[in-house]
Amino acid sequence: HTGGHALDTIVAVATAPVPAGVGIVRLSGPDARSIAETMCGRALTLRNATRVRVRDAQSQVLDDGIALAFAAPASFTGEDVVELQLHGSPVVLDSVVDAACTLGARRALPGEFSERAFLHGKLDLTQAEAIADLIEARDAQTARAARRSLDGVFSKRIDDVADEILRIRVQMEASIDFVDEPIDTDDIARIEQRLSALATSLESTLVEARQGQKLRDGLHATLVGAPNVGKSSLLNALAGVDRAIVTEVAGTTRDVLKETVRVGGIELTLVDTAGLRATDDAIEAEGMRRARAALGVADLVIAVVDAQDPVLGRARLQDELPPARSVIWVVNKGDLARSDVTDALVVSARTGEGLADLRDAIVEHAQRTMGEGAFTARARHVDALTRATQLLRNAIAECGAGQIDLCADDLRRCHDTLGEITGRVTADDLLGAVFSTFCIGK
Ligand code: GDP
Ligand code: ZN
């Protein structure tokens, strides 16, 4: 897997670069143990916590702590690894890294430890990415989903489909190469059936991957409504801080489109539909274009109307909403008028009435949209799955039409596309793109 060339020894601080009780320096590579043993002035027993004093090349004591040594291939990277648990002083830890470098190690690049784990077959690509997702998870649900990706739940789905495609390809290519034994209509019908089952399973994996991506990237809820209904006030009230600009004059909010806040772990974007009116004003027209764009990508729309005119307000706003989008209807300014609108939450940004219910509704919707979040996924996974599903659909059509050569070719491309996800098929630039987004020491 490593292409036959020996890798050098890398070193990095594996913990966050802030003062802490404990900090860890990690070494990986062929000289990891000898470099660490030189610095510690003693032999290190494998998989044993050894009390050590760590010195630099001039025998100056840098710190004391615990050394843990692992021999290849039974380590995180699959190489010889030593972890030094020292005091969590960024200055001390950095001097230990320097000392290791004077003894022949090299500072690790971002994600290089995980990349080596991948290169040595310890993890596939989605699992390596799951490590980064787990580290960056902002809530327990995302962390659990990342954990499942790391345990290989996502990879197994992909590998199972890829393996079955491979079996079908072998059968088809054999019949293409050996004209004496041409594929008959029964074979074709059977293959078509197997391919359809695969397409169904790939499509449900795609749905889950989309949910997993939302889990990782955050759900986007967009607040829309006519000018002055109180969208900015609501956003501020929900966020608990004054972020958006509240104005008395209708149609003046134009610069708050990129305003995002988190409510119960969900990202909310404010969109003022001030611009959705017909207008000659160039700035307002631009605001309108952006409002429509934001609505187009929203997972959830929070449509706001004024309690003083809820029925007409709702009828007008209804036409602006994209079809098949989940909508929570909110009647704001409940303190000014009693309204009897059904299917709507009556709230008041001013008094705080109904805001807890609105918050609950947003969170409940988010949980429903994201499901239990079987695994975390990334845009590149969703993209590859979409392409693979399309190729498989093409292959099924070609198989049905008896175009076995074309079908076999699309199956090969589908198989390669699935391989991109788990890293069975990789280009160096893809690896670079994935691992360079990791932090150093991971
Ligand atoms: P937007 O244009 O939809 O963003 O509306 P704003 O948030 O800028 O609010 C417009 C006006 O309505 C401001 O004067 C707010 O103080 C007022 N307002 C907003 N929410 C409420 C509410 O719940 N009750 C009352 N009485 N006034 C509100
Ligand atoms: Zn506003």
**Domain locations along the chain:** 10-124, 135-215+376-435, 220-370
Answer yes or no: is the C-beta of 231 below 6 A from any ligand 1 atom.
yes
- Contacting residues for 333 by C-beta, under 8 A, at least 6 apart: 229, 230, 306, 307, 308, 348, 349, 350
Answer yes or no: is the C-beta of 236 below 6 A from any ligand 1 atom.
no
Answer yes or no: is the C-beta of 249 below 6 A from any ligand 1 atom.
no
Rounded Cα distance, 364 and 376, in Å:
19
CATH class entry, domain 135-215+376-435: mainly alpha
List the one residue out of 122, 215, 123, 204 whose CA is nearest residue 157.
204
Answer yes or no: is the C-beta of 335 below 6 A from any ligand 1 atom.
yes
Rounded Cα distance, 143 and 139, in Å:
6
Closest atom of ligand 1 to CA, residue 270: 4
Answer yes or no: is the C-beta of 232 below 6 A from any ligand 1 atom.
yes
> Of all protein residues, whose CA lies closest to atom 20 belonging to ligand 1?
230
CB atoms within 5 A of ion ligand 2 belong to 231-232, 253, 272
Per-residue pLDDT of the chain (442 residues), as tens digits, is 444 456 899 999 999 999 999 999 999 999 999 999 999 999 999 999 999 999 999 999 999 999 999 999 999 999 999 999 999 999 999 999 999 999 999 999 999 999 999 999 999 999 999 999 898 887 777 888 899 999 999 999 999 999 999 999 888 877 776 666 667 788 889 999 999 999 999 999 998 898 888 777 777 788 888 888 998 888 888 877 666 556 555 555 444 455 677 776 667 776 665 545 555 666 666 666 666 776 777 788 899 999 998 888 888 888 778 776 788 999 999 999 886 777 899 999 999 999 999 988 888 887 776 666 678 888 899 999 999 999 999 999 999 998 988 999 999 999 999 999 999 876 677 777 778 777 777 7
For 135, the token pair is 């580290």
Choosing from 222, 246, 351 the residue with most ligand 1 atoms within 8 A of its CB, the one to mutate for a pocket test is 246
Rounded Cα distance, 259 and 238, in Å:
13
Domain at 10-124, CATH from 1.20.1600.10, 3.30.1360.120, 1.10.10.10, 3.40.50.1460: 3.30.1360.120
Q: Do domains 10-124 and 220-370 have the same CATH topology?
A: no
Residue written as token pair 């990334």 = 378
Q: How far is CA 220 from CA 217, 235, 236, 286, 331, in A?
A: 9, 14, 17, 21, 21
List the one residue out of 126, 108, 110 whose CA is nearest residue 118.
126
Rounded Cα distance, 252 and 349, in Å:
19
Q: Which residues are annotated as a binding site for (6S)-5-formyl-5,6,7,8-tetrahydrofolate?
A: 26, 83, 122, 442
> Of all protein residues, whose CA lies closest to atom 10 belonging to ligand 1?
228
For 422, the token pair is 């788990």
- Rounded to two decimals, the ipTM of the complex is 0.98
Distance 202 CA to ligand 2 centre (A): 43
Give 99-125 as a DSSP string.
Answer: HHHHTT-EEPPTTHHHHHHHHTTSS-H
- Contacting residues for 330 by C-beta, under 8 A, at least 6 apart: 234, 302, 303, 304, 305, 344, 345, 347, 358
Distance 345 CA to ligand 2 centre (A): 19
Q: How far is CA 318 from CA 145, 226, 232, 296, in A?
A: 36, 11, 20, 15
Rounded Cα distance, 85 and 336, in Å:
62
> Of all protein residues, whose CA lies closest to atom 2 belonging to ligand 1?
228
345-346 β-sheet, strand order = 260-263, 266-270, 220-225, 300-306, 326-332, 345-346
Rounded Cα distance, 222 and 299, in Å:
8
List the one residue out of 62, 98, 100, 106 whose CA is nearest residue 83.
100
The architecture of the domain spanning 220-370 is: 3-Layer(aba) Sandwich (3.40)
